[in-house]
Amino acid sequence: MTGGELLRILATHPGVEVAWATSREYIGKPIHAAHPHLRGFYQGLRFEALEDVDMGVVNVVFNALPHSVGTVIVAEAFETGIRVVDLSADYRLKDPDLYPALYGFKHPRPDLLEEAVYALPEIYGEKLRGARLSAVPGCNATAAILAAAPLAASNMIEKGYGLIVDVKAASSEAGSRPGRHNIHPLREGSARPYSPWGHRHAAEAAQVLRELAGEGIRVSLVPHAVSMTRGVLASAHAWLREGYGFREAATAYASFYSGSPMVRIKPMAPGLPGDPPDVKNVLGSMYAEVGFAVEEDSGRITGFAAIDNLVRGAAGQAVYAMNAMLGFDEWMGLHTPPIRP
């Protein structure tokens, strides 16, 4: 589904022409055979086998192959000077030792991990400019980081206690492969945890949040499958340090995201007007709704982030990365307003 979403966004991007697209299942067929909503776009383009494409004709390559499948191809393209935007997890983690445990493979090119820029605009936007290799964040990690970053970067919270990020994720996260539990009758109306003993995206989120904290901080992430087709809502829970409260949180969130055109800050407190952060308000777009609330009695603070998992959590951040890497306006092709309801 990430591939379809990328093609949807690129279809109206003013600076891009798609030279080829690969597939295993749809070789020789038009784009709309796999993505029926795109019928009428990409006329003349047909899926090719990976081994048949001509790398020489493109300035940038997107890798949306399953984890570990494209690692070497990405490295090779990179070395020929082609810009590479990797939507898989292959270049997200800086520590190569994490790959065997989390993704089941020994990383073939640990030397490139430092080279890859983690494509989260609000944090690594500067580093992406002109970068040659970028790793697009996972959707759960994107939401978790956006919710928690101002907390991690400040000294408001008790870092010894750390951050626990509770994530609510849509069914499109699992992609289009049928499986026993993502068939409609068993997923619709369902709410359940998955991988609660340690999700892969936790490592990404922790890597970024620890860097922001500049010191040891415990970070944990617990994903849940809920009954919607698009969107991720992350709730990052922590305890405030003595003397900190709503006012300091407001300052921290406002300053962290000042200058971020696609982050909508939504403070939540009794009596404040406005809607809560809601995935319903950002679908189809790069917007992130980031909120926070303080429970005065207990001292608990929660940061929230609502995003579209396929745009902000995948294909949209990939296009942002491409824009920045090629020297385009960073948000080119990404100004689309969300669709609601």
Q: Which residue numbers are catalytic?
A: 139
192 lines the binding site for its own copies (CB under 8 A): yes
CA separation for the pair 166, 296 (Å, rounded): 20
Of 51-59, 67-75, 230-238, 315-323, the window that binds its own copies (rule: CB under 8 A) is 230-238
Out of 102, 233, 318, 325, name the contact with its own copies by CB under 8 A: 233
Give 48-52 contacts, CB < 8 A, sequence gap 24+: 48/20, 48/21, 48/22, 48/23, 49/22, 49/23, 49/24, 50/22, 50/24
* 12 contributes a contact to its own copies by CB under 8 A: yes
Closest CA to 249 of 119, 149, 320, 101: 149
How far is residue 225's CA from residue 243's CA, in Å, rounded to a whole number? 36
Asked whether position 276 contacts its own copies by CB under 8 A, the answer is: yes
CB of 139 to its own copies, least distance (A): 13
- What is the chain's length? 341
Shortest gap between Cβ of 264 and its own copies (angstroms)?
5
Report the residue from 222, 318, 321, 322 that binds its own copies according to the rule CB under 8 A. 222
Among 280, 326, 331, 332, binds its own copies (CB under 8 A): 280
Closer by beta carbon to its own copies, 37 or else 127: 37
Q: Helices 200-213 & 139-153, crossing angle to 10 degrees? A: 20
In a 13 Å sphere around the CA of 81, the CA atoms on its Cβ side amount to: 2
Using CB under 8 A as the binding rule, the residues of this chain from 129 to 168 that contact its own copies are 161-162, 164, 166, 168
Nearer to its own copies among residue 19 and residue 38 (C-beta): 38
Among 46, 224, 241, 248, binds its own copies (CB under 8 A): 224
Whole-Å CA distances, 149 to 62, 155, 167, 303: 27, 12, 15, 9
Contact (Cβ atoms closer than 8 angstroms) between residue 167 and residue 140 = yes
- Of 68-76, 219-227, 247-255, 321-329, the segment contacting its own copies by CB under 8 A is 219-227
Size of the site for its own copies (CB under 8 A): 97
